[in-house]
Structure 1
Amino acid sequence: MLRKILRRLKRNIISPVSWESLRRLEPLSTTFGFDRGTPVDRYYIEQFLSANKHLIHSNVLEIAESNYSRKFGENVSRFEVLHVQPGKQVTIQGDLTNYASLPANHIDCFICTQTFNFIYDFKTAIAGAHYLLKPGGVLLATLAGITQLSAYDMKQWGDYWRFTPQSATKVFGEIFGEENIEITSYGNVLACTAILQGIAAEELSVAELQHNDPVYPVIITVKAKKASHGIDQR
């Protein structure tokens, strides 16, 4: 709560947004707006997960932590966490590009937000997500569209890709089957401006955030279902 109050003070008193003059060479925030409030992409991610919370049940997997699984999950029997390194919450130490490190046909719902853009061999990683799912299991993924690069992730493992609805449709359709995927996008030119500048979602109105223009996607969302006969035995 104290952190939220401090962020609000920074936005409103220390460095309020001057929408009339964004002719500047430095952004307001280099951390997507985390230091000012809720990053715009996180606002959209939570909308997507909330709209699909009925799919977040039984054995649910997330990357690095289980925050979204716990926030949006319904009737979750097990919270699984995947990471390449061991950790307190990690239940599966593995790599999406290395099938030998992953349990096959194991997960009912895989929440994979803003991850594939940090994996150089993203197509193999998407196939790895398919490999993890039980037949009938669902992948709920989000992909970076028009947004900042992540300086932190570039140093850790790399920040390689930005996607479009068209590229997402093509690559996920090749792996899951076009009939088993649903691709959408969230954003507009103002939302893109906000995330590039590091302006928080709280500094925009709901109407401004909710307006959707597919030419300016902040994020692309993927709902992909593994075919009920699609047992992986790689």
Structure 2
Amino acid sequence: MLKKILKKFKREVVAPLNWNNLRSVKPISTTFGFDRGTPVDRYYIESFLQKNLPAIKGHVLEIAESSYSKQFGQNVTRYEVLHTQPGAHVTIQGDLTDITSLPENQIDCFICTQTFNFIYDYKTAIEGAYYLLKPGGVLLATLAGVSQISAYDMQRWGDYWRFTTKSAQRVFDEIFGEGNVTVQAYGNVLAATALFHGISAEEVTREELDYHDPVYPVIISISATKKANGKA
């Protein structure tokens, strides 16, 4: 409730958007729209997770925190947090690109949002995600499609990749096996424009956000299941 109140307050104090004033080489917001409300890509990430509620159960893993696990999880028996560095909430200290640092066959659901595009060796990282999952476990991942570079991440560990549905389907099929992966694009040209300018989801109508044009994928979602026998 407090989060909703703060979002409403933020929207009220930010200057109203003038859609007729977008001819500018400078964005309206340089922080993806966090200073105006909810970033457009976050709206799509949460829509994807909402669609996959039944999979978010048992031992649920996230990177760095467990906010989505707690927001969308049903019948969660353990909240797991993966990070390369130790921390108060970190339960697995490891690196997705180094399976020797990861436990095998431990996770029922791995929520991995907007992460693989910041890992140079993303295919090895996907293999690490597969390694973590129990047979029958599910990876719920999102990738950046049409998006500006994250200056924060670029300065710290790098912002390397943007994906298409074709590239996502191919690489996840190679690791999880064909028939075990569902890929979907979220977004359209208006949503992409909003994201580039840092216009928040609250400043776009739901009908506009929920129109999906595969040529303008703001994010790409992946639901990938590890086969029950553990082999792709």
Q: Which amino acid aligns with 2:27?
A: P
Question: Is 1:94–2:97 an aligned residue pair?
Answer: no
Q: Which amino acid aligns with 1:107?
A: I
The answer for the alignment partner of 2:10 in structure 1 is 7
For residues 88 and 201 of structure 1, the distance between their equivalents in structure 2, rounded to whole angstroms, comes to: 32
The answer for the alignment partner of 1:132 in structure 2 is 132
- Displacement of 1:178 in angstroms is 1.5
Deviations along 1:126-159, one digit per CA (max 9) or x if unpaired, are: 0000000000000000000101111111111110
The answer for the alignment partner of 1:44 in structure 2 is 44
The answer for the alignment partner of 1:103 in structure 2 is 103
For residues 116 and 159 of structure 1, the distance between their equivalents in structure 2, rounded to whole angstroms, comes to: 9
Contact 1:129 1:139 in 2 (8 A): yes
For residues 159 and 9 of structure 2, the distance between their equivalents in structure 1, rounded to whole angstroms, comes to: 30
- Displacement of 1:17 in angstroms is 1.7
For residues 130 and 229 of structure 1, the distance between their equivalents in structure 2, rounded to whole angstroms, comes to: 13
Contact 1:58 1:76 in 2 (8 A): yes
- Displacement of 1:5 in angstroms is 4.0
Partner SS state of residue 62, structure 2? strand
Pairwise mapping of residues 183-194 of structure 1 onto structure 2 (< 5 A)? 183-194=183-194
For residues 78 and 90 of structure 2, the distance between their equivalents in structure 1, rounded to whole angstroms, comes to: 12
Q: Which amino acid aligns with 1:174?
A: E
Question: Is 1:224–2:224 an aligned residue pair?
Answer: yes
- Displacement of 1:21 in angstroms is 2.3
TM-score calculated relative to the size of structure 1? 0.95
The answer for the alignment partner of 2:17 in structure 1 is 17
For residues 159 and 85 of structure 2, the distance between their equivalents in structure 1, rounded to whole angstroms, comes to: 18
Deviations along 1:180-207, one digit per CA (max 9) or x if unpaired, are: 0000010000000000000000000011
Q: Which amino acid aligns with 1:214?
A: P
Contact 1:56 1:109 in 2 (8 A): yes
The answer for the alignment partner of 1:164 in structure 2 is 164
- Displacement of 1:9 in angstroms is 2.4
For residues 181 and 17 of structure 2, the distance between their equivalents in structure 1, rounded to whole angstroms, comes to: 39
For residues 17 and 117 of structure 1, the distance between their equivalents in structure 2, rounded to whole angstroms, comes to: 30
Identity, % of aligned positions: 65
TM-score calculated relative to the size of structure 2? 0.96
The answer for the alignment partner of 2:30 in structure 1 is 30
5+ long unaligned stretches in structure 2? none
Q: Provide the aligned length of Structure 1 versus Structure 2.
A: 229
Q: Which amino acid aligns with 2:147?
A: T
Partner SS state of residue 179, structure 1? coil
Partner SS state of residue 90, structure 1? coil
Partner SS state of residue 217, structure 2? coil
- Displacement of 1:231 in angstroms is 6.0
The answer for the alignment partner of 2:178 in structure 1 is 178
Partner SS state of residue 81, structure 1? strand
- Displacement of 1:109 in angstroms is 0.3
Deviations along 1:25-61, one digit per CA (max 9) or x if unpaired, are: 1101111101100000000000100110100000000
The answer for the alignment partner of 2:208 in structure 1 is 208
5+ long unaligned stretches in structure 1? none
Q: Which amino acid aligns with 2:88?
A: K
For residues 189 and 73 of structure 2, the distance between their equivalents in structure 1, rounded to whole angstroms, comes to: 32
- Displacement of 1:4 in angstroms is 2.1
* Alignment root-mean-square deviation, CA: 1.2
Q: Which amino acid aligns with 1:190?
A: L
Contact 1:105 1:231 in 2 (8 A): no
Partner SS state of residue 129, structure 2? helix
For residues 24 and 83 of structure 1, the distance between their equivalents in structure 2, rounded to whole angstroms, comes to: 39
